[in-house]
Amino acid sequence: MKKIIKLLTVIMIVATVAAVFSGCSSESKSQKVKVIDIPLTQEEYAFGVNKSDPKLLEEVNKLIADIMSDGTFDEILNKYFGDGEPEPVESAELNPSKDQLVVATNAAFEPFEYMKGNKYYGIDMEIARLLAERLGKELVISNMDFDAVCLAVGQGKADIAMAGLTIKEDRKEYVNFSDKYYNASQKIIVKENDTTFDNCKTAEDVEAILSGMGKDTKVGVQNGTTAQFYVEGDEEWGFSGFNVTCVGYSSGALAVQDMLNGNVDFVIIDEAPAEFIVKAINELN
């Protein structure tokens, strides 16, 4: 989506990224970055539901169908990609004696989930609130590393994973996936003055360049995400991988920070977070 983000949304994301970049050198702060506007993958996001709770899966799928048909999902997207205003989502404290919906997420993946203060924001978080209201339960959001969200649900520590989660076969060991609700792709972030991919027109063009690089080329990714599988190779996805060095981070923003610090050459992350991070960083510089 290529719509202009409302100023208030940008300010919130800038504040988040500013915190990440507070320890950067003045040299890194003066640099800008850009997204290479070529989708490298085609993915589908869904929610990962506890396998022992088929009733919850049924309710989640009903909610997805309802918000898609009545315009609610478009209204949520407009808050993050259009001229709407994101709404904060509050989490209750975990209390086994209460009737609660426990959501596992990784709140470092704007615009799907992120934090401002002690409140959550994001597309998934607003859907989580709707789901809790629909079920008549108190919402509890459990923030953790991305590669732990499905495991947390599989171990019964959470009811559902809502974390910009791509449908993937090996994750089905831990969760039952809901119906899809969003189509996504991976894109490359580079420094603004980097011309490596400027003449590329297709994903094949980008991959031809990456295939010619060796271990001295370092590519940053968020741990456990499709980008890591894309760079390292994954038979299930049909990704052959590249002979580069893949460097994992807990968030895309940290990966971009390290790129500006000169420690990695490129960053590959999901399209929507990439656009948010790039816009926020460039607002700072």
pLDDT on residue 13:
44
State residue 8's pLDDT score. Answer: 36
Looking at the predicted structure, is the pLDDT value of residue 20 above 70? no
Which percentage of the chain shows pLDDT scores above 70?
A: 89
> Which amino acid is residue 119, in one-letter code?
K
- For the stretch 85-105, pLDDT in tens is 999 999 999 999 999 999 999
Residues 78-84 have a mean pLDDT of 92
In the predicted model, what is the mean pLDDT of residues 115-124? Answer: 95
d(CA 135, CA 98): 13
List beta partners, residue 175. 50
The overall average pLDDT reported for the chain is: 91
The pLDDT-based confidence of 284 (bands split at 50, 70, 90) is confident
pLDDT above 50 for 127 = yes
pLDDT top residue among 246 and 9: 246
DSSP H helical ranges for the chain: 7-21, 26-29, 54-69, 72-81, 123-135, 149-154, 203-211, 226-232, 252-260, 271-284
pLDDT at residue 275 above 60? Answer: yes
- pLDDT at residue 3, rounded to an integer: 36
Residues of the chain with CATH 3.40.190.10: 7-42+185-284, 43-183
Least confident interval from 10-14, 71-75, 112-116? 10-14
Residue-wise pLDDT tens digits, 184-216: 999 999 999 999 999 999 999 999 999 999 999
Bridge partners, residue 89, by sequence: 120
For residue 156, the model assigns a pLDDT of 97
Q: What is the arithmetic mean of pLDDT over 109-129?
A: 96
Distance in angstroms (rounded) separating the CA atoms of residues 43 and 145? 21
Top CATH class, 43-183: alpha beta
Fold of 7-42+185-284: D-Maltodextrin-Binding Protein; domain 2 (3.40.190)
pLDDT over threshold 60, residue 23: no
